Amino acid sequence: MEEQIKNYILDLGVDDVGFARMEDYQSPKSYAITSFLPSAKSVIVLAYKPLSSCESPSMTAAQNGYLDLGSFARSSSYQIARYLERTHNAKVATLPVAYPLDIQDDRKAIADFSQRHAAVAAGLGSFGRHNLVIHPRFGTRVIFTSIITNLSLQPSPKCEEFCTHCNLCVENCPARALDEEGKTDVVRCLSHSQPYGLIADITFQMQRLGSQPEEQKQMLTGAQYARLRQSAHLGNQYMCYNCLKSCPLGLA
Residues 167-186 that bind ligand SF4 (CB under 6 A): 167-169, 173-175, 177-178, 184
State the Rg of the chain over Cα. 20
Say whether residue 72 binds ligand B12 (CB under 6 A). no
Contacts of 215 (CB under 8 A, 6+ apart): none
Residues 107-146 that bind ligand SF4 (CB under 6 A): 128-130
Strands 126-127 and 133-134: antiparallel
Say whether residue 198 binds ligand SF4 (CB under 6 A). no
Residues 102-121 that bind ligand B12 (CB under 6 A): 109-111, 113-117
Tell me the DSSP string of 9-38. Answer: HHHTT-SEEEEEEGGG---TTSPPGGGT-T
Alpha carbon of 118 to those of 15, 85, 93, 106, 123: distances in Å?
Answer: 16, 21, 14, 23, 9
Nearest to 116 by CA among 57, 184, 66, 61: 184
Q: In whole angstroms, how close is the CB of 68 to ligand SF4 at the nearest point?
A: 19
- Spatial separation of the C-alpha atoms in residues 61 and 63, rounded to whole Å: 6
The stretch among 3-11, 27-35, 206-214, 240-248 that binds ligand SF4 (CB under 6 A) is 240-248
Tell me the DSSP string of 94-141. Answer: EE-SS-S----TT-TT--SS-HHHHHHHTTS-EE-TTSSEEBTTTBT-
Residues 232-251 that bind ligand B12 (CB under 6 A): 238, 240-241, 243-244
Among ligand B12, ligand SF4, none, the one that 14 touches (CB under a kind-dependent 5 to 8 A) is none
Considering the complex, state which of residue 41 and residue 130 has its C-beta at the smaller distance from ligand SF4.
Answer: 130
Say whether residue 193 binds ligand SF4 (CB under 6 A). yes
Q: How big is the CA angle at 192 (ends 146 and 106), to the nearest 5 degrees?
A: 60
Beta bridge partners of 143: 48
Considering the complex, state which of residue 110 and residue 166 has its C-beta at the smaller distance from ligand SF4.
Answer: 166
Site string for ligand B12, 188-207 (x = CB under 6 A): -xx--x--------------
The residue ranges that bind ligand SF4 (CB under 6 A) are 128-130, 163-169, 173-175, 177-178, 184, 189, 192-193, 240-243, 246-247, 249
The residue ranges that bind ligand B12 (CB under 6 A) are 27, 29-30, 97-98, 109-111, 113-117, 127, 130-133, 140, 142-144, 178, 182, 184, 186, 189-190, 193, 238, 240-241, 243-244
